Structures are given as C-alpha cells and as structure tokens.
Amino acid sequence: MARRGSEFAGLSVAIVTPFVDGKLCLETLKQQIEFQIDAGTTCVVPCGTTGESPTLTHPEHERVITETIQIASGRIKVMAGTGSNSTAEAISLTERAAKEGADASLQVAPYYNKPTQEGFYHHYRAISEAVDIPHCIYNIPGRSGKNIEPDTIARIAADCQNMVMVKEATGSLDQASQILATTDLTVLSGDDSLTIPLMSVGAEGVVSVVGNIVPHDVIELVSAFGEGDVARAQQMHLKLFPLCRDLLSIATNPIPVKAAMAELGRDTGELRLPMTPLDADQLKFLRATIETYGLAAATV
C-alpha cells in the first residue's frame, strides 16, 4: 500500500534564495529552478533553512514562494516553506502559498519557544484544519531546540489526514523506524549523508541541500536504491559523501552551498547577516573539494 505523500518520493531540493546587493535576485532564482526541472528533480522547496527564511521579510518570503510557483508552472512540484514558531503566522503564510498554487507546505517544528508535545500536536492540527493541502512535518531539533517525539507524530498522522510527510532530520534511525512502523506517512531524509541509511528502513527520498549542486547524482542514488540496486546506490553515496560531509559541514548551512554555487557560476554567494562568508582557508578547502569531485569552477 502506498504511503501518504508518496508522490513526493525522490529528490526534493531545498533551494537557496539568491541576493544581489541585499535584494532578491529573481532572475537567478528562475535559472536555479530551471536547472532543477532539467535535472528531473521531483520538487523544489523554497524558503526553508537553506533559503535563509529567518532573514526574509514577510513580503520577500511570499514573493519567493509566488515566483517559484509561477516559474515552476506545474513542471515540478513546489513544497513551500511556510512554518513558523507562531501558529497563526504559519497558517497565514500557508494560506497564501496554497492560494498561489503550492503543491504542499513544509512546516518546521516551532523553534525557540520549545512547545510541549501537546503544543506540537495542536500546532500541526491547527495548520491541517486551516489549509487543505498536503503538509510535511519538518523535525530538526538541532535547529528548533526540541524533538517532535514519534508518538506525537503518530498522533498528528492519525488526526490530520493532510499531514502526509516527515522531513526527518533528527539523525536517529530509531526515530525514523518508529514513525514508519506506526504511521503511513512518507519519510524523507533531512540529511544528505543519511539518505541511504534512512531509505534502508523505509524512507523514500531526501530533501537535499547538495542537490542544489549535483541533482543528477542525488537522483541516481535515490533511484538506484529504490530499484534495488544497492551496490550502485552505495557507490553514489560514497561519491557524494565528501560533498555532504566535507563541503557542507565547514560552516552553517547555507553558507557552504552558496559559496560552492558562486564558484560554479550559479549564484552570487551573497548571504544576509548573521550569516557571513567563508574565510580564506575555508574557501580554499571548498575549491579543492569541488575540484576533486569533478566540478569545474566558473571561468567568468
């Protein structure tokens, strides 16, 4: 039996938000979405952590999502990042995204205020009841400060039929296994380096950062494992691992991926404070990593 949300299986890419001189660069956003469409990516995810949502104004947040939906034009799914630590704000952002035509929403665990498990339940139930599109629970306690426990996710799944996915970024195979055993939700890896381990217990893909750079390779990994070609999937995992471990871990996401995209001529690399650029040694390491991988730096 297919799981809820299985249409989002495969590669979803948490896209960056391009800036030029502190302002949104919609032309670069368009180029990046077209790049993902050409690669065969299942879904793009604007305004997540990788999209620097904490430093977007509300009008900017809405503009990025609207532009992404319009550029996608049904050629690729759009899972809009509309979560918040305020339930009312999450509902407002999600209502707007749904009105614009988003295929789903990504709902990060409320951060900083650290709800109880009961608070998590009522937060997600309120969103589910307010906006009738598919939703993905984004559980990332390293960022949000508190874990949504598997029992709570099972309770949400039982009572909220449009909560259809979990972006699992706890790093715990036990937690993912419990969710898969007790719900019919689709689980997507929230960590590039853990895609195969999570798929081995039943996850069906990844919401990827490194997919901004090498979507074809991530698609090959996910497809190979899904087709039962474990040896090929392991080969792709080991190929991708230096990008996932070395490149993405040298600084807080999205600093390294934006720097890499700038090196490849696909983004300005510009960040918003409090995110700051790589230092000279980190940049030298990044350049060596992408060169070793076989990616050619831009010559312009």
What b-and-e string marks burial along 232-262, b requiring 16 or more CB atoms within 10 Å of the CB?
A: ebeebbeebeebbebbbebbebbbbbbbbbb
**What CATH number does the domain located at 6-228 have?**
3.20.20.70
Mean pLDDT of the region 77-84: 98
Spatial neighbors of 284 by CB under 8 A, at least 6 apart, are none
User: Which band of pLDDT confidence, cut at 50, 70 and 90, is reported for residue 227?
Assistant: very high
pLDDT tens, position by position, 120-179: 999 999 999 999 999 999 999 999 999 999 999 999 999 999 999 999 999 999 999 999
Say which residues have a Cβ less than 8 Å from residue 99's Cβ, sequence separation at least 6: none
- Residues 291-296 have a mean pLDDT of 92
Residue 39 CB neighbours (<10 A): 17
List the alpha helices (DSSP H) in the chain. Answer: 26-39, 58-72, 87-100, 117-130, 141-144, 150-159, 173-182, 195-200, 215-226, 230-242, 255-263, 280-293
Q: How far apart are CA 67 and CA 102, in angstroms?
A: 11
Q: Which of 178, 162, 158 lies closest to 170, judged by CA?
A: 178
Compute how many other C-beta atoms are within 10 angstroms of the C-beta atom of residue 158: 12
Q: Packing angle between helix 173-182 and helix 150-159, nearest 10 degrees?
A: 30
Predicted local confidence at residue 2, as pLDDT: 84
pLDDT tens digit sequence for 83-114? 999 999 999 999 999 999 999 999 999 999 99
Handedness of CA 24, 26, 31, 36 (dihedral sign): positive
Active site residues: 138, 167
Which pTM was predicted? 0.96
192-220 tens-digit pLDDT:
999 999 999 999 999 999 999 999 999 99
Contact 87, 127 (CB under 8 A): yes
Pick 100 or 2 by higher pLDDT: 100
- What are the domain boundaries of the chain? 6-228
pLDDT for the residue 299: 45
Does an H or E element contain 300, and which?
A: none
Q: Which whole number is the average pLDDT over 241-259?
A: 94
